[in-house]
Amino acid sequence: MAFEVTINEDRHSIDVDGDTPLLWVLRDVLGMTGTKFGCGMALCGACTVHINGEAVRSCITSIDSIGDAKVTTIEAIGKTPAGQKIQAAWLDREVPQCGYCQSGQIMSASALLASNPRPTDSDIDDAMSGNVCRCGTYVRIREAIKQAAQSGG
Amino acid sequence: MALAHIDITQGDLSRRGFLRVGATVSGGLLLSLSLSFASRESEAASSDNFEPNAFIRIGGDGQIVLTMPYVEMGQGTYTSIPMLIAEELEVGLNQVRLEHAPPNEKLYVNPLLGVQATGNSNAIRGAWEPLRKAGATARTMLIAAAAKRWSVDPSSCRVQNGEVHHQASGRSLGYGALAADAARMPVPENVTLKKPADFKLIGTPAKRLDTPAKINGTAVYGIDIRPPGVKIATLAQSPVFGGRVKRVDDTAAKAINGVRQIVQLDDAVAVVADHMGAAKKGLAALKIEWDDGPHANLSTSDIARELESATTKPGAVAQTIGDADKAMAGAATKLEAVYQAPFLAHATMEPMNCTVYFRKDECEIWIGSQAVARVQAMAAKAAGLPPEKVMVHNQLIGGGFGRRLEADGAVRAVEIAKQVDGPVKVVWTREEDIQHDAYRPYWFDRISAGLDEQGRPIAWNHRFAGSSVIARWLPPGFANGLDPDSTEGAIDLVYDLPNFHVEYARVEPPGITTGFWRSVGPSHNVFVTESFIDEMAAVAKQDAVAYRRALLGKSPRAKAVLDLAAEKAGWGQALPKGSGRGVSLQFVFGSYMAQVAEVEVSKEGAVRVRRVVCAMDCGTVVNPNTVQAQIQSGINFGVTAALYGEITLKNGRVEQANFDTYQMLRMNEAPAIEVHVVGSSEPPGGMGETGTSAIVPAIANAVYAATGKRLRKMPIDPALLKQA
């Protein structure tokens, strides 16, 4: 059946089974490939998007659960104040290596910063430990979040 | 293809035999390099069989384009390689563009691996001399062209910012305007390379060229490829290696909305669908009956037993110095131990995937590969086509670590695509990715040492058994029972060991494919040798750093990194109860490294790595920013392995499946890491893998310092450390 969803402020009508994870709607139906597949079980965070500003794992979020909520993906996170700061810090600190997990890292970090402008180390641990980085960029992720938090606002 | 429009209209071969200079059809300057010749100049070939494998083009617009055989997989090679050229040409890094090389084993051979591949930490090591020489050659010829045009002495000209300047007359010309003339200048016999003191780019922290696309979702990895009309497939391969499909009931799968086709292979079944959601649902709905084949009862303990037994018999001698047996007989103290290191999966964040469009007489492939020529060759075989009919489009790699040196994913995708009308993207689930990897070999090591009355080592005997990845992957590399990877880190140690004997026994685990895994041979050898040196220091009742230091008479660079790491880590200073420091020292991949790990062990036996201090001498640092990042990365990769990494088999099946059972280090567990680089003007060493091999023994030694318990088997078993 068809579902109406709002992604990055655009309305889309999508004809898939209701239990189809949002991840595959984004990547395979809409061609928005910035959101990544890592595990399919909410264990790695590569697929993180925002639903009404909150970080969620799109690989276990079924399309029929979204309703009128607003979905934001990596492609549009730079339009939010927190996302913009996070991306600038990521660029400045040169966080990515292979880069594959970084969409998810940036989405989790942006949600953290939007709700908590001055996160402590322990806040960062809590918000970011669901996002795996196999290249082990954790040192720079932490530095970049702190830098973004200090960049005003 | 990047090279299709290049036509060498004239050429002049440098007498040194690694470089050819000519013109492009569009009037630019073209330098063709043969890296293998340059790295082994004694074998420099004559002009009639010159086979270049790297190209530098300077176009009429002044843009410099570099085509190289190496791929970017997060290690920063696409930034550090252009730095070498830009340095000698006196241009900014933004004036050099790097292109992916198309697959051609003959052209793009990696000078240190002997095949077209990116691995073994050697991109910078192989490119260091020849790329700078090529840049200097181009610079000399551009100056000559300008000097001729102005009728001045070339020595009165200099280059800056992509222009040749004649100071006396105030004239200047850009490289673009000079490129065509430069191509007609004689190739200089000898060129002067810039002195390290004059480097403007090399050694400065350059911004990576691939970062912007990796923070906004626009970077395209293999898994992101979407040719028009592409279908998505996912698959189940025989859960037992060597098993076969007996029967498939696909009625329920076919009824799922979005499922288009079920493809059955000998040893796998794939579901082709409109999207991965439907494909996964279809896969779950399949009822597959497997014939498990000959390995149905295989377990890890069987493999370990076989390896253990191999270490009781002589192996191939990898290195022998003096007479270890005789010295052992006269030793005041003897110690012996066995060590074990498990199978490991790569678990790249981007699961295995490959997109194939199979047409009647040709085949197109999109994949992120560390070895694109291998993909082409093996895919061609699977497709039943000549290699030139298989086009491979290489993409960004979402983690390699050795996994993407293999072509099994491409072969699978071709097998499936042959039965599908139109392009199909085959995406493995994480479970398939973990359970059908080419695993880091399981290793079993038996090692003994004899000490004199002062505790100094006078005998060292080490014998180990495990799979040779080289023997499968690059058969000519395995000879006389040995290969250079399996033994790296076990031989040519930095220490003065007067009577030293090392043997290796190749034992292949039945049915299991082994593969290169970040830090390869040293991933287990350094764990064993650096843990055992620690055991020797403990038996001699000496400090672990001081004991090592006394054995480094012939290795001043090793001593320097050991001293620096110890100093920065506060070696010897008191730590709280339950905490400890451990040290490791190695010379592998052409770089010296020492690490000090600080760990905390809970009453329940849980190990937390708090802090790692690393000192390294990797020769000349091309991009310090990348070196720091790669060391941090390698260390976290090794911490993951030490704490969690283990693939086990039961009833022929891999027991781990996803990140819940094959755990990764996370933000809240990641150590603070300090990297200190010792300045050096030696040629660059590798650094993509060194951090991984050094951290594992440093952790094990730190746990010993904290608890008095010696860990001889990885990963760490908290039950062994639990306080009674």
Is A135 in contact with B348 (Cβ distance < 8 A)? no
When the pLDDT of each residue in chain B is averaged and rounded to a whole number, the result is 90
Q: Taking the mean position of all CA atoms in its chain, how far away is CA A51?
A: 10
* Amino acid B13: pLDDT: 40
**Neighbouring residues of B690: CB distance < 8 A, sequence distance ≥ 6:** B121, B519, B522, B586, B588, B589, B591, B593, B616, B618, B631, B634
Residue B233 has pLDDT above 90, yes or no: yes
* Amino acid B117: pLDDT: 61
- What Cα–Cα distance (Å) separates residue B367 from each residue in A46, B243, B656? 20, 27, 26
Is A134 in contact with B637 (Cβ distance < 8 A)? yes
C-alpha B638/C-alpha B665 separation (Å) is 10
Residue A107 has pLDDT above 80, yes or no: yes
Please write the tens of the pLDDT for every residue from B473-521.
989 899 999 999 999 999 999 999 999 999 999 999 999 999 999 989 9
Please write the tens of the pLDDT for every residue from A44-66.
999 999 999 999 999 999 999 99
Is B275 in contact with A29 (Cβ distance < 8 A)? yes
Share of chain A above pLDDT 70, in %: 99
* Amino acid B116: pLDDT: 59
* Amino acid B108: pLDDT: 54
Identify the band that residue B390 occupies on the pLDDT scale cut at 50, 70 and 90. Answer: very high
Q: Which residue has the tokens 């090392």?
A: B502
Identify the band that residue B35 occupies on the pLDDT scale cut at 50, 70 and 90. Answer: low
Is B349 in contact with A31 (Cβ distance < 8 A)? no
* Amino acid B210: pLDDT: 84
Residue B431 has pLDDT above 70, yes or no: yes
Residue B170 Cα, gap to closest chain A Cα (Å): 38
Closest CA to B81 of B623, B618, B634: B623
* Amino acid B642: pLDDT: 98
Which residues 92-111 in chain A show a CB within 8 A of chain B?
94-103, 106
Q: Which residue has the tokens 């007489």?
A: B361
Among B72, B214, B221, B660, pick the best mutation site for testing chain A contact (most A Cβ within 10 A).
B214
Mean pLDDT for the stretch of residues B684-705: 92
Please write the tens of the pLDDT for every residue from B181-218.
998 888 888 888 999 889 999 888 888 888 999 999 99
* Amino acid B15: pLDDT: 39
Residue B42 Cα, gap to closest chain A Cα (Å): 37
Query: In this complex, which of B223, B257, B636 lies closest to A37 when CB atoms are compared?
Result: B223
Hey, what are B642's tokens?
């030490």
Identify the band that residue B115 occupies on the pLDDT scale cut at 50, 70 and 90. Answer: low
* Amino acid B4: pLDDT: 25
CB contact A3 to B (< 8 Å)? no
Backbone φ and ψ for B294, nearest 5 degrees, come out as -70, -15
Mean pLDDT for the stretch of residues B574-584: 97
Nearest CA in chain B to A34: B217
* Amino acid B109: pLDDT: 54
Residue B37 has pLDDT above 50, yes or no: no
Q: Report the run of H or E that residue B102 belongs to, with start and end.
A: none
Q: Which residues of B touch A78 (CB under 8 A)?
A: 216
CB contact A46 to B (< 8 Å)? yes
Query: Which is more confident, B92 or B24?
Result: B92
Residue B195, classified by CB atoms within 10 Å of its CB into exposed (0-12), middle (13-18) or buried (19+), is: exposed
Backbone φ and ψ for B622, nearest 5 degrees, come out as -80, -50
**Are B610 and B575 a contacting pair, CB within 8 Å?**
no
Identify the band that residue B27 occupies on the pLDDT scale cut at 50, 70 and 90. Answer: confident
* Amino acid B68: pLDDT: 73
Residue B41 has pLDDT above 70, yes or no: no
Residue B130 has pLDDT above 90, yes or no: no
* Amino acid B45: pLDDT: 34
Is B276 in contact with A91 (Cβ distance < 8 A)? no
Is B667 in contact with A32 (Cβ distance < 8 A)? no
CB contact A120 to B (< 8 Å)? no
Share of chain B above pLDDT 70, in %: 90
Mean pLDDT for the stretch of residues B407-426: 98
Please write the tens of the pLDDT for every residue from B74-114.
667 778 888 888 999 999 888 888 776 666 555 455 555 55
Is B664 in contact with A90 (Cβ distance < 8 A)? no
**Are B641 and B522 a contacting pair, CB within 8 Å?**
no
* Amino acid B178: pLDDT: 93
Is B668 in contact with A46 (Cβ distance < 8 A)? no
Please write the tens of the pLDDT for every residue from B330-348.
999 999 999 999 999 999 9
Mean pLDDT for the stretch of residues B632-657: 98
Residue A66 Cα, gap to closest chain B Cα (Å): 16
* Amino acid B94: pLDDT: 84
Amino acid at site B336: E
Closest CA to B612 of B585, B630, B639: B639
* Cis? peptide before B387, omega within 30° of 0: no
**Are B368 and B394 a contacting pair, CB within 8 Å?**
yes
Query: Which is more confident, A119 or B103?
Result: A119
C-alpha B112/C-alpha B119 separation (Å) is 9
Query: Which is more confident, B75 or B29?
Result: B29
Mean pLDDT for the stretch of residues B546-570: 97
* Amino acid B149: pLDDT: 95
Share of chain B above pLDDT 90, in %: 73
Residue A138 Cα, gap to closest chain B Cα (Å): 6
* Amino acid B36: pLDDT: 46
Residue B320 has pLDDT above 80, yes or no: yes
Identify the band that residue B9 occupies on the pLDDT scale cut at 50, 70 and 90. Answer: very low
Identify the band that residue B43 occupies on the pLDDT scale cut at 50, 70 and 90. Answer: very low
- What Cα–Cα distance (Å) separates residue B290 from each residue in B229, B254, B264, B540? 32, 20, 12, 56
Backbone φ and ψ for B141, nearest 5 degrees, come out as -75, -35
Mean pLDDT for the stretch of residues B175-186: 91
CB contact A43 to B (< 8 Å)? yes
Q: Which residues of A touch B426 (CB under 8 A)?
A: none
* Amino acid B26: pLDDT: 73
C-alpha A102/C-alpha A48 separation (Å) is 10
Please write the tens of the pLDDT for every residue from B240-288.
999 999 999 999 999 999 999 999 999 999 999 999 999 999 999 999 9
Backbone φ and ψ for B439, nearest 5 degrees, come out as -80, 150
Mean pLDDT for the stretch of residues B300-312: 98
* Amino acid B360: pLDDT: 87
